[in-house]
Amino acid sequence: MDQFDRKILDLLQHDAAMPVAEIAEQIGLSTTPCWRRIKNLEGTGVIRKRVAVLDADKINAGVTVFVGVKAGHHAADWLENFATAVGGIDEVLEVHRLSGEIDYLLKIMVPNIAAYDDVYKQLIAKADFADVSSFFAMEKIKSTTALPLQYAV
């Protein structure tokens, strides 16, 4: 990955709908080589997909809840059941397996506490947990989908 690829990625992370001609102009390449680079970045999986980032408040999903989960069991079948359970709940946006006292951290977006309670009930009905702790975000200080590119090789 060279400086042109990094510049392409930076531009696309901020506007995935930017026309190839505009990207090419901004990074100092002609359109065809720029297009080939984008296709290569897509083909190698560096660019996984292009999406629209929605305003959560405007679609009535502006309450962010982080949920810390301690596993009921540390076994492959438990993890498979848990992954299936969280994978089937639209409000669960992210699930991370952690080191430390909490085994999994979930990011959930809902319109209100009652909606979160419905999600919580779905979770506990589908998987056995040793402990579940919920943390409601009071303020969003930083939120981005742009990854740091200085480490890209």
The DSSP secondary structure of 39-104, one letter per residue, reads HHHHHTTSS----PPP-TGGGT--EEEEEEEEES--SHHHHHHHHHHHHT-TTEEEEEE-SSS-SE
pLDDT for 82 beyond 90: yes
Strands 129-136 and 92-97: unpaired
pLDDT value for 53: 95
The residue type at 139 = E
What percentage of residues in the chain have a pLDDT greater than 70? Answer: 100
What percentage of residues in the chain have a pLDDT greater than 90? Answer: 97
Average pLDDT, the chain: 96
> Which CATH code, of 3.30.70.920, 3.40.50.10140, 3.40.50.720, 3.30.413.10, is assigned to 57-136?
3.30.70.920
Q: Domain residue spans in the chain?
A: 3-43, 57-136
pLDDT value for 73: 85
User: In this predicted model, what pLDDT tens digit does every residue of 30-73 receive, in sequence order?
Assistant: 999 999 999 999 999 999 999 999 999 999 999 999 999 999 88
> Which CATH code, of 3.40.30.10, 3.30.1370.60, 1.10.10.10, 3.40.640.10, is assigned to 3-43?
1.10.10.10
Query: Quick check: do 3-43 and 57-136 share a fold?
Result: no
pLDDT value for 118: 98
Q: Is 128 exposed, middle or buried (0-12, 13-18, 19+ CB in 10 A)?
A: exposed
